[in-house]
Amino acid sequence: MASATEPSAIGAASDGVNSRRTVAAVERGQTVTLHFVRHAQATHNEAAEKRGREAYSDPAFMDARLTDLGREQCRTLQGRVVSNCEEVQLMVVSPMSRAIDTAMIAFDKVPSHVPWIALECIRERSGNHACDKRRTKTELLQQYPQIDWSKVESDSDVYWDTLGDDRETDEMMEDRAHALFDWIRSRSETNIAIVTHSAFLSVLFNKAVRCGARLQRWFDNAELRTVLMQL
């Protein structure tokens, strides 16, 4: 059962049990608009379609990059971004290259004064899978100098290394989702784009947030969902 302190996604769709939608009233200034995006297709996604999930552990897909299809998905997403995210005040990205490149292409019309910040807490489920191990902070800073990397503490991916052959549990990822919400509460921006990953988004909407079934379903590649959230 959700606790009273869990964030709520306002205006979530009915779950089908009751045909009426729940209407939430909150004071102005108590909500933030969050645009959640899953990265576009990357090389490990493409390989998994052909070889199965074992492809995720292949070192060739470490910090997997976007495929040509993935880049096309990003360009398609641009239209939705322009019409739905024109008031974005802050860009938040996972430190994984596929998420960053998705954001760079899909949100290329975001004004230059909008800050870009990389957060470890929104990365994909970590451990074991090579595709979910990030490059060093030094490499990423060289490739993406326009992003603020100050919140990424270690140069190498110490967290992934520490997990060894294990994968993060849902409980560990739920803690990361709440770390994201705590961080957002510390910010002044109220319209934020967050480009991240499928497993993280699934845990966020199914365990860390109270919301309807439509928001709880799995994200497709390059899918955008905009929610008004009471934190």
Is residue 129 flagged as an active site residue?
Answer: no
Task: Please indicate whether residue 124 is annotated as part of the active site.
Answer: yes
The Cα 139–Cα 155 span in angstroms is 9
All residues at 6 or more sequence positions from 8 whose CB lies less than 8 Å from its CB, including other chains: 24, 209, 210, 211, 229, 230
Candidate list 35, 44, 46, 124, residue with the active-site label: 124
Half-sphere exposure of 175 (CA within 13 A, CB side): 4
**What single-letter amino acid sits at 56?**
Y
Task: Choose the catalytic residue: 35, 39, 178, 197.
Answer: 39
Question: DSSP secondary structure string, the chain?
Answer: ---TTS-EEETPPP-SSSSSPP-----TTSEEEEEEEE---BHHHHHHHHH-GGGGG-GGGTTPPB-HHHHHHHHHHHHHHHHH-TT--EEEE-SSHHHHHHHHHHTTTS-TTS-EEE-GGGSPPPSS-GGGPPPPHHHHHHH-TTSB-TT---SS-HHHHHHTT----HHHHHHHHHHHHHHHHTSS-SEEEEEE-HHHHHHIIIIISB--HHHHSPPPTT-EEEEEEE-
Catalytic sites, residue numbers: 39, 124
